[in-house]
């Protein structure tokens, strides 16, 4: 049974948040600061909020409901109740709603891009690209569910028949990172909803506004109450919310994108209730250039793979291996290209590189570069803080 407190303190407006975005966001209803549980915009039981920062200015842009275990338990209960009905809807009915959600996302591309850019710091053109990327997942699964069915595998016994029937897993706990605050939500919610499952989403503390905007659009197009629930929480409550999801017998699957350390922890915790777990964890991708490579094409690939989202993706090229015979030429050309990158406020025209996500990311980057230089590396370009702002670190090439 859902707590009666689920209807407490329904927030009429995210006024503080909206003031910051008023000049850039046209659909002000997309900017929400409450949690979204059982189709209602609700505050935390404590009535506390946590700050969301613009990493390019290091200024607060919103205060969002500070939710923890109690609210997560309520969201799980709402998702469980909704799932009993949602799983009985036809694939065609679910497909129609997903297509409507996709259309709403596309129609609000400009506003969603601004929201994602403001809270994540990624350049606006990249944010617009992410909206299209995010919408694509919803569209794909809206069509894919119409072709998903069971099958009849052959049996080892002539008088036996084997049937494989696909059924919804149940309530899914979804935990997402800040570097793709829209696409990592839809990549998980698309198949979840299409399959007849419901979800409790815990977005990254740095970027909850994007998740809440997607929930608003889902609600607007008629996705039923409780099918999608969003529980925003600060980093100091991440373990509390994660534990609520992994320990609940009502949550049957965990989907997580983030660090290997946290992924291991979620897998360990989920074993207690034998949950299905899908993990996309950190990477350390190599980039290899052989002596017969087309250097210009190789550089095109490297620039795209390394500096996307200011180098803050799990598939960025972190280790570059160049054949000795072309090393000097490649390094010189790389430095030339890196120097042409424009760093600045993410919504400024022509900017290629925005800030790092926050002070901790800046500190980690600084320490890694300092350690490399101390141990013999040379900074061919960059290697220090940019004068633009606190979280801006110059594009750097170490050799």
Catalytic annotation, residues: 280
Cβ-proximal residues to 250 (8 Å cutoff; 6+ apart), any chain: 76, 77, 79, 80, 170, 171
Rounded Cα distance between 101 and 221, Å, is 6
Cβ atoms 393, 381 nearer than 8 A: no
Rounded Cα distance between 336 and 338, Å, is 6
Cβ atoms 311, 287 nearer than 8 A: no
**In the 8-state DSSP scheme, what is residue 384?**
S
Q: Among 182, 209, 237, which Cα is nearest to 61's? A: 209
The H-assigned helical ranges of 145-207 are 183-194
Tokens of 230: 């969003």
**In the 8-state DSSP scheme, what is residue 157?**
S
Look at the block and give the residue holding tokens 């949602």: 86
Tokens of 257: 């994108």
Cβ atoms 185, 201 nearer than 8 A: yes
* Alpha carbon 11 to chain centroid, angstroms: 25
Q: Among 178, 177, 232, which Cα is nearest to 202's? A: 232
Cβ-proximal residues to 227 (8 Å cutoff; 6+ apart), any chain: 79, 82, 83, 86, 193, 198, 199, 218
The H-assigned helical ranges of the chain are 15-21, 69-86, 91-107, 109-120, 124-144, 183-194, 208-220, 238-247, 260-271, 295-307, 327-340, 359-374
Tokens of 248: 């609940």
3-state helix, strand, coil in the chain (%, to 5): 45, 15, 35
């Amino acid at each position: 049974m859902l707590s009666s407190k689920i209807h407490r303190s329904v927030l009429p407006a995210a006024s503080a948040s909206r003031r910051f975005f008023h000049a850039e966001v046209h659909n002000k209803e997309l900017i929400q600061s409450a949690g979204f549980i059982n189709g209602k915009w609700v505050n935390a039981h404590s009535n506390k909020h946590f700050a969301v920062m613009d990493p390019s200015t290091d200024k607060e842009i919103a205060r969002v409901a500070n939710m923890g275990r109690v609210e997560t338990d309520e969201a799980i209960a709402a998702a469980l109740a909704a799932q009993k009905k949602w799983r009985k809807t036809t694939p065609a009915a679910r497909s129609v709603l997903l297509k409507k959600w996709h259309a709403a996302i596309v129609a609000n591309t400009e506003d969603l891009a601004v929201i994602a850019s403001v809270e994540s710091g990624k350049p606006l053109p990249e944010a617009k690209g992410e909206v299209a990327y995010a919408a694509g997942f919803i569209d794909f699964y809206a069509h894919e569910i119409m072709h998903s069915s069971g099958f009849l595998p052959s049996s080892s016994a002539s008088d036996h028949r084997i049937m494989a029937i696909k059924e919804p897993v149940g309530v899914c706990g979804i935990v997402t990172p800040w570097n793709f605050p829209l696409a990592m939500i839809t990549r998980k919610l698309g198949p979840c909803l299409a399959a007849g499952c419901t979800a409790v989403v815990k977005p990254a503390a740095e970027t909850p506004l994007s998740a809440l905007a997607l929930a608003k659009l889902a609600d607007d197009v008629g996705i039923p109450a409780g099918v999608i629930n969003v529980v925003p929480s600060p980093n100091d409550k991440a373990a509390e919310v994660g534990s609520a999801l992994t320990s609940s017998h009502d949550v049957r699957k965990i989907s997580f994108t983030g660090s290997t350390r946290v992924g291991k922890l979620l897998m360990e915790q989920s074993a207690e209730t034998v949950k299905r777990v899908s993990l996309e964890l950190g990477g350390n991708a190599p980039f290899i250039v052989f002596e017969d490579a087309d250097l210009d094409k190789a550089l095109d690939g490297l620039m795209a793979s390394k500096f996307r989202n200011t180098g803050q993706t799990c598939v960025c090229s972190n280790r570059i291996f160049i054949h000795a015979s072309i090393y000097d030429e490649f390094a010189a050309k790389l430095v030339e290209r890196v120097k042409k990158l424009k760093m600045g406020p993410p919504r400024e025209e022509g900017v290629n590189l925005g800030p790092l996500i926050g002070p901790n990311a800046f500190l980690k980057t600084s320490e890694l570069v300092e350690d490399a230089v101390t141990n013999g590396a040379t900074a061919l370009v960059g290697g220090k803080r940019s004068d633009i702002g606190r979280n801006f670190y110059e594009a750097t090439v170490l050799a």
